[in-house]
Amino acid sequence: MRRKKRNSANARNAEPRQRLAQLAPTRLARRFDNRYDAAQTTDENRRHWAAADALSADAANSLSVRSYLRNRARLEIANNCYAKGIVETLANDEIGTGPTLQIQTQNANFNRMVERRWSEWSAAIGLPQKLRTLVKARIGDGEGFAQFVTNRRLPDDGPQLDLWLLECDQVTSPYMAMLENNKVDGIAFDQYGNPISYDVLTAHPGGLDIIAGYQARSVPAAYMLHLFRVDRPGQHRGIPEITPALGLFAQLRRLTEAILAAAETAADMAILLKTAMNANAEVDSVVPLSTIDFERRMMTALPYGWEAYQVDPKQPPPGYKEFKRELLNEIARCLNVPYNVAACNSSEYNYASGRLDHQVYYRSLAVNRSHIESVLLNRIFAMWFLEAAKVYRWSVDAQPVPPHQWFWQALEHVDPRLVAEAQQIGLQCGFTGIPEIYATKGADYETAQEASAKALGISVEEYRTLLRQKLFGVPGVSESPTSTSSREPPLTGEE
């Protein structure tokens, strides 16, 4: 009897514990869900978050997804003036007329010789234009590819190295190769994530040669260049940078077309007839929705009891300009482009607001240029220098590629006088230097000073002495300390 009572008591005590154990996970999950508003799923936000997923970067940017995005981006860029202009402006501002190379070895003559040969080769293959095309592909297609090739049509007395641009559609795996574990749609990687080779179709899959489009050749990674923006860890293929703006571009086009259609419809209805008579009044009968032909400069009489009026189109609506501005501003935000650059319109800007908006834009250009240097330019120069050293019989030291840096074309300032005054003050205070000032202009200060001295018919040392006198009132560094009392006072900016 005692054992039965004890078992029944344990059973009664176990039931509440089981119910608590069943409710605990629900209460715990609800507690943590309620901690963040964005973690809740309600009837109101269910449709908004329906597309959220937990896919990896490569799975989210699969071949089919990238195909849809780049095809729609190409269509929008080809038909939308704002999309086309933004892409062109970004490519022109990032690349400009092309970067300038400066070699930084101890041998000045060797530096000038390498820089001259590089300039000749880059002009021969059209390197600035190819760099701009790759930037456009990065923005509109998501990624741009280039392959090192030998171009026999280049001059025989120089390197015959060239760049062959490829659309991202052509860098993909054939059907059976997609199943390989170490590949991400045409790119094979080692265990450390370094690209080993690229599968390049022998023809564009959207071209006329359909059979050749399914045949691929393997290109070693050392001969391929791949430019794209990495947004997520583990991402190996790129999507168009204007992806967030594609829907907004469509809205902008639809709004403009709807307003134009409404204005045209109102304009087509030249004259309408209406009557103020009641239903029992005697008026001339007019067939509803009938049309009456009339000629220009004629006098006519209307039916009895009817009067004519014209439709007021009232297009565009009062908020059209503001809505269009806000839409363009939102479109340009994903590319770090200010509104006046995206719209090519600064009529509503003052000087201060224009400069403030451009600071973010200039920083974005600097980041993109740095990425282009590391991904494209340094590899191109390394490959070219190895070829050039063989052709021109340069004696290469243990370091295969000489130290160097790139100078980019500076963006013009709206007030050059303010820039010149700021540079002069910075030089006099030691905040900046002559090499940095020339670098912002995309030029090498030594080359520029040599050209300026030659134009004045003086030596470079004489030119630099005159420049020191203008800046600091110091005749030269070789002057004895005892003559400091006889120096003239420093020249001011006005003098």
* Domain co-membership, 236 together with 249: no
Distance of CA 181 to the CA centre of its chain: 32
* Domain co-membership, 191 together with 216: yes
> How high is the pLDDT of residue 39?
85
Whether 43 is covered by a domain: the verdict is no
Residue 495 has a CB neighbour count (10 Å cut-off) of: 7
Structure tokens at 345: 């319109």
> How high is the pLDDT of residue 298?
65
> How high is the pLDDT of residue 289?
57
* Domain co-membership, 266 together with 227: no
Amino acid identity of 181?
Answer: N
CA distance 495 to 493: 5
Whether 148 is covered by a domain: the verdict is yes
Residue 250 has a CB neighbour count (10 Å cut-off) of: 14
Whether 7 is covered by a domain: the verdict is no
Whether 355 is covered by a domain: the verdict is no
Distance of CA 219 to the CA centre of its chain: 27
Structure tokens at 121: 């080769």
Determine the 3-state secondary structure of 218 from DSSP.
Answer: strand
Residue 368 has a CB neighbour count (10 Å cut-off) of: 19
* Domain co-membership, 231 together with 252: no
DSSP state string for 44-59: TTTTTTTT-----HHH
* Domain co-membership, 282 together with 203: no
CA distance 373 to 408: 10
Give the H/E segment covering residue 122: helix 108-125
* Domain co-membership, 238 together with 125: yes
Count of structural domains within the chain:
3
Whether 495 is covered by a domain: the verdict is yes
Listed as own residue / partner, the contacts of 419-427 with beta carbons closer than 8 Å and 24 or more positions apart are: 421/493, 424/471, 424/493, 425/493, 427/471
Quick check: 340 and 82 in contact, CB under 8 A? no
* Domain co-membership, 89 together with 237: yes
Whether 289 is covered by a domain: the verdict is yes
CA distance 193 to 237: 13
> How high is the pLDDT of residue 382?
95
Quick check: 131 and 93 in contact, CB under 8 A? no
Backbone φ and ψ of 14, nearest 5°: -75, -30
Structure tokens at 128: 């600035």
* Domain co-membership, 148 together with 250: no
Structure tokens at 484: 């400091």
* Domain co-membership, 327 together with 425: no
Backbone φ and ψ of 400, nearest 5°: -65, -35
Whether 430 is covered by a domain: the verdict is yes
* Domain co-membership, 189 together with 255: no
The b-or-e profile of 149-159 (16+ CB within 10 A means b, else e) is eeeeeeeeebb
Mean pLDDT by 10 residues, the chain (495 residues): 54 57 53 70 88 92 94 94 95 93 89 93 96 97 96 92 95 69 87 93 81 79 96 94 94 86 72 64 62 65 67 72 90 92 84 78 94 97 94 78 89 72 82 79 79 90 88 60 41 36
Task: Give strand pairing partners of 406.
Answer: 101
Amino acid identity of 52?
Answer: A
Residue 420, domain extent: 412-495
Closest CA to 216 of 196, 201, 198, 197: 201
Determine the 3-state secondary structure of 197 from DSSP.
Answer: strand
Give the H/E segment covering residue 274: strand 272-274
Whether 168 is covered by a domain: the verdict is yes
Q: Which residues, 6 or more positions from 335, have their beta carbon under 8 angstroms from its beta carbon?
A: 86, 90, 139, 241, 242, 245, 364
> How high is the pLDDT of residue 491?
37
* Domain co-membership, 234 together with 269: no
CA distance 240 to 249: 14
* Domain co-membership, 209 together with 65: yes
Residue 475 has a CB neighbour count (10 Å cut-off) of: 15
Burial of 364 (0-12, 13-18, 19+ CB in 10 A): middle
